[in-house]
Chains A and B, each alone.
Chain A
Amino acid sequence: MNRPFQAFVPLFGTEELAKRPKIQVNPAAGRKREPLSLEGSRLIEQVQSKDFEAYGRFVRLHQDRVFNTCWRICGNLEDARDLTQEAFLRGMQSLADFRGQSSLYTWVFRIAVNLALSHKRKGKTRQTLSLDWSPLAEGTQAAELAKRMHDARAETPEKATADAELQGEVIKALNALDADHRAVIVLRDIEGFGYREIAEILEVAPGTVKSRLHRARITLREAIKPYTARQ
């Protein structure tokens, strides 16, 4: 069934992975996402002079990445929404403190990640339903709808279940990581930041980023190994 939303359907599951060429690592290129533009001093000047419009453009440009990062760190969409808003607000309110030693984007991201980490450590996550269908949310009415939608997109019911199960395990393993490790792996593997940027955001040494990422990946690997091996 050709549906307009299919372009947004995320690829997940081992079958898609199996189709990809194995181990085609290009160490020089890394796994960066789109280049981060709009970091010129002009914008910073505009924003520092309380140019709301310029800041609005800045927000629009980066809101999705900040939102997704907050979501994956705190694990709750509603909270992520609040945290994103709070991060941009604080960024606006404390622009006077920005000294230009890092990029404005990294600086706002640091605020967002710190907020999300602080939020996570305090265990303030709201009791809401899981957003991705997974066995975790099973038994609820909304989860039932999500499952139907998910099944409808899959090629076969078996594959749909397997994919969803694997994805559920990945999310579960991610949520099981402690906040620091989770932040690193989210910033690297989900948001595609480089080690140096992550070090700037988290205000740690690049070596710490490397070791935390390594530990997080090994933990994640152990958690999902039974499922990847089975499939």
Chain B
Amino acid sequence: MSSIENDNLSLYLSAYLDGELTPEESALVKRILEENPEARALLEDLQVGADLLQNLPRHTAPATLLEDIGIHLEREDLLNDIPASRVETRTPWRRQFAAAAMFVIIVTGGLWGFVKFGPNLVDPKREMLTTTGKIDDSPTVSAGDVSNLPPLTSKTTPKSSSPVTEKSTAVTSLAHVLSFEQKAKIGMSAREVLDHRFENESNKLMLQFENGEDLTATYARLLEQLFDRGGTNLRETPLPTRLDKIEGELFYTGLASVNYPANSDRQLLIRVPASAINEVFTQVKADTGESTNAVLKLGELRANGWEEAERLALQMAGDLDVSEETTMLAQSDPEATESGTQKIIEENSIASLLVGLTGINDDVIAPKDRASLEAARAAGNAKRMDRDRPPVDPKSPIDRRAKDEREYKDRTKGQSGEGANSSTTSGNGRTNDSPASSKDSKSASTADGDSPNPVIKAPDAAEKAPKSNNPSNDDLESAASKDHQPDSAAEQTGEKSESAEKENRDTDHTSLAKRMIAELEAKHASRKNTAQASVENGSATVPQLPKQEDPYITLVIQFVSPPKDEVEPRIPPETSTSKPKTEARKKPNSPTATKEHGATSKADKPKENKLNGELSHSAR
């Protein structure tokens, strides 16, 4: 074995395997390998072992790692620059020191108490007195002795705002900045976790199933669907009062078929490509049907049932007033409906919800659908501009929704003053008619009775207008733009031919859609420029991964059983508050449904809160 000793052979082979030998040593080992079959076998074994190790499963780091680090740094600021490591739970020696200090204090206090009160307290007669509450006949005990006892009431120290209290307040305030996982991890209550608001979690969406029935099959199907569409990073956590005990973590990337019990005390977290969400939800919706109330939670928004979710999706995706839009589409432009515009919007609903609410990049939507979504958004923007509203920030859906609600409130006020069947005028003069009233509010353009595009006039002119059965979206828009014109101008407008109207309408929509697309392209171009700048800065090798561009979202799935004796808090879509929404979708021509539709979000609010409480209770 030439210059290499037998004992060292494996050492050299190991280094040879790694290419860490000098050329001379390497040549020597090669020669030995040629001569010695045992050496070859040993090298082969080492290679097999190394390969097995190299092929062990690997995991990606938690998606929230960077965010968690940021939160830690933020927490440092909150806690007056105390290093995060000091308030971390991962400081055993500090804990031990604190425990030891506490022990010393207790022992010292106990000794002090014993020294001061000990002789009396250990007196058996005194014990008898204190335990029975009456003075014994024994001559050794007297009333005087009793009066000489030290006062039993402990000294109360005045409360002061200690640094500890201030710190605990600061820690409490952290509840607002902690992520969903962090809340669960540090053991916040189940209610805190269930009520978690997702508005700052741009990559999370919660799907909650409320059903007292066994949802094992649903659970299995849902998992299968998610995995089939690229779901990964599956984690399951229990939902007890404290969630710091992680029962199991499954980081598997594949699944054929599972039969996994769905329990009410578990939640599932899974990373799913956002583009697959819509498809999965559609399937699950079909599977669960009416028996299960699926709740989608995102930020302040809580959608009870699929229809509510779809409504929200439509509303947020294109800033559309869904009920109005649907009504107008059906009434005014049957072709648009038939061409599938509405259908496509509905198909996009859940994905739109994500896009609208979480700011997930539009790229996650298939190009075909994106075009229709852009068109829908353009339509929504057209309406918005007609209302003379100030431009809204599309990235702040919560604000946008609040604005919508305020506007709706204004409109409702106007409506209540004019009666049920009269035109409802918004604060900016926009008119929204029911079919009954629209028959009365005709534009001059329909005077010949042929035009299906009546212009809805201001209330004073509406009474004089001839009948029309087809108030359209564009009519409303044109009315909004012209409601300050004299009647003669409106009549002039009404004399336009139908084809010219349609052409104008198409042009409007097309230009709006083009503008939207141009804005999108500009946004992408600016991103590209930023990336280019980073290349020039020398940080080109670093991939830029803004949070919004992550094509994955984490889906939090919970199965929550409501308490058996309290059925009332559940708000299925069929109940009083949700019914109008259903009707509005089924009967787009119904003005009542249209009006009530927007009010549901407010009406639902108290019940939602109550529902949250009940759910939390049941989860515990």
B65 sits at the interface (CB 8 A): yes
State which of A28, A40, A42 has its C-beta within 8 Å of the C-beta of B19: A28
B17 sits at the interface (CB 8 A): yes
Contact with A along B572-595 (1 / 0, CB 8 A): 000000000000000000000000
Cβ contacts under 8 Å, A224 to chain B: 49, 52
State which of B49, B55, B230, B253 has its C-beta within 8 Å of the C-beta of A12: B55
Cβ contacts under 8 Å, B250 to chain A: 131, 142, 145-146
| B10 and A214 within 8 A (CB) | yes
| B253 and A26 within 8 A (CB) | no
A178 sits at the interface (CB 8 A): no
| A31 and B19 within 8 A (CB) | yes
Minimum CB distance partner of B259 in chain A: A148
| A27 and B92 within 8 A (CB) | no
- Indicate whether A85 sits within 8 Å of B68 (C-beta atoms), given known contacts A26-B19, A66-B61: yes
Cβ contacts under 8 Å, B40 to chain A: 23
- Indicate whether A213 sits within 8 Å of B59 (C-beta atoms), given known contacts A37-B541, A90-B85: no
Cβ contacts under 8 Å, A14 to chain B: 48
| B20 and A210 within 8 A (CB) | yes
Cα distance A21–B186 when bound, in Å? 50
Which among A17, A30, A149, A210 has the greatest number of chain B C-beta atoms within 10 A?
Answer: A149
Minimum CB distance partner of A188 in chain B: B18
Cβ contacts under 8 Å, B248 to chain A: 128-129, 140-143
Cβ contacts under 8 Å, B88 to chain A: 86
B45 sits at the interface (CB 8 A): yes
| A77 and B251 within 8 A (CB) | yes
A190 sits at the interface (CB 8 A): yes
| A82 and B251 within 8 A (CB) | no
Cβ contacts under 8 Å, A192 to chain B: 54
Minimum CB distance partner of A66 in chain B: B61
State which of A64, A132, A152, A166 has its C-beta within 8 Å of the C-beta of B57: A132
Nearest CB of A to B396, in Å: 23
> Which parts of A156-200 form the interface with B (CB within 8 Å)?
166-167, 170-171, 174, 185, 188-190, 192, 194-195
Q: Chain A interface secondary structure, helix, strand, loop or mixed? A: helix
How many residues on the A side are at the interface (Cβ–Cβ under 8 A)?
97
Cβ contacts under 8 Å, B539 to chain A: 38, 42-43, 54, 57
Cβ contacts under 8 Å, B48 to chain A: 14, 17, 228
Cβ contacts under 8 Å, B253 to chain A: 5, 8-9
B14 sits at the interface (CB 8 A): yes
| A122 and B65 within 8 A (CB) | no
> Which parts of B34-87 form the interface with A (CB within 8 Å)?
40, 43-62, 65-66, 68-70, 72-73, 83-85
Cβ contacts under 8 Å, B542 to chain A: 38, 57-58, 60-61
Cα distance A224–B50 when bound, in Å? 11
B192 sits at the interface (CB 8 A): no
Minimum CB distance partner of B544 in chain A: A57
Nearest CB of A to B36, in Å: 13
Cβ contacts under 8 Å, A128 to chain B: 246-249
Nearest CB of B to A30, in Å: 4
| A3 and B69 within 8 A (CB) | no
Cβ contacts under 8 Å, A84 to chain B: 61-62, 65
> Which parts of B393-423 form the interface with A (CB within 8 Å)?
none
Cα distance A12–B54 when bound, in Å? 9
B252 sits at the interface (CB 8 A): yes
Minimum CB distance partner of B30 in chain A: A27
Cβ contacts under 8 Å, A132 to chain B: 56-57
Which among B50, B229, B252, B538 has the greatest number of chain A C-beta atoms within 10 A?
Answer: B252
Cβ contacts under 8 Å, A188 to chain B: 18
| A56 and B20 within 8 A (CB) | no
State which of B10, B68, B84, B541 has its C-beta within 8 Å of the C-beta of A38: B541
- Indicate whether A1 sits within 8 Å of B247 (C-beta atoms), given known contacts A30-B19, A221-B45: no
B26 sits at the interface (CB 8 A): yes
Cβ contacts under 8 Å, A23 to chain B: 40, 43-44, 47
Nearest CB of B to A42, in Å: 5
State which of B17, B57, B256, B545 has its C-beta within 8 Å of the C-beta of A1: B256
Nearest CB of B to A114, in Å: 14
Contact with B along A47-73 (1 / 0, CB 8 A): 000001010111111011011100110
Cα distance A129–B541 when bound, in Å? 38
State which of B54, B66, B84 has its C-beta within 8 Å of the C-beta of A60: B66
- Indicate whether A64 sits within 8 Å of B60 (C-beta atoms), given known contacts A4-B230, A210-B11, A210-B20: yes
Cβ contacts under 8 Å, B281 to chain A: none
B255 sits at the interface (CB 8 A): yes
Minimum CB distance partner of A83 in chain B: B90
Cβ contacts under 8 Å, B532 to chain A: none
Nearest CB of B to A120, in Å: 14
B227 sits at the interface (CB 8 A): yes
Contact with B along A68-98 (1 / 0, CB 8 A): 1001100001100110111011101100000
Nearest CB of B to A48, in Å: 15
- Indicate whether A31 sits within 8 Å of B58 (C-beta atoms), given known contacts A40-B538, A63-B65, A89-B85: no
| B54 and A67 within 8 A (CB) | no
State which of B45, B69, B247 has its C-beta within 8 Å of the C-beta of A88: B69
| B14 and A214 within 8 A (CB) | yes
| B20 and A194 within 8 A (CB) | yes
Which among B44, B51, B544 has the greatest number of chain A C-beta atoms within 10 A?
Answer: B51
3 A-B pairs with least C-beta separation: A152-B256, A142-B248, A30-B19
Query: What are 6 sample pairs from A and B whose C-beta atoms fall under 8 A apart?
Result: A5-B253, A9-B254, A148-B259, A152-B256, A214-B10, A214-B14
